[in-house]
Amino acid sequence: MGGFSSVEKCVNLGGSGDRGFFVARIAGVNVPTQKVVEIALTYIYGIGPKRSSLICEEAGIEAERRVKTLTEDELSRLRSVIDGSGYELEGDLRRRVRQDIKRKVDLGCYEGLRHRKGLPVHGQRTSSNAQTCKRVRRPQADKRG
């Protein structure tokens, strides 16, 4: 079954091999098909509930519909709205966040120092909380015998 550009026919690895399921691929992410469109779009890094509802509205798709009920045309409309919106998503957004953290660490500003020490950055309490962050990291002994 070739010819699917964005909706691919995949083999169900669990259970009987005869049944298959569809995978909707939007912005390089396999979006779950059983979920409602508005919720499924939030699986893309950089799209939250608010932005998801705006995208559905702009694409002219009811947010309550399931992804598996969408036609190829509706999926392409969703894709074009997401691509044309100018939002930073997935890899680009992750890269930018990582670069921002690295810049603050290199500058030696307060947030950078907190990142370097592995402590909470946004002003949370540390006297009673953040015990995992404050735990001393000891090198693990080689347990191979």
CA–chain centroid gap for 125, Å, is 28
State the pLDDT at residue 15.
41
User: Which amino acid is located at 137 in the chain?
Assistant: R
State the pLDDT at residue 11.
34
Shared domain for 17 and 75, answered yes or no, is yes
Shared domain for 79 and 94, answered yes or no, is no
Q: Phi and psi of 24, rounded to 5°?
A: -90, 125
Shared domain for 23 and 61, answered yes or no, is yes
State the pLDDT at residue 16.
42
Domain boundary among 68, 84, 100: 84
> Within the chain, which residues score under 50 in pLDDT?
1-20
Provide the residue range defining the domain that includes 122. 90-134
Secondary element (H or E) of residue 90: helix 90-107
Considering the domain boundaries, does residue 15 fall inside one?
yes
- Cα dihedral 85, 90, 92, 95, rounded to 10, equals 150
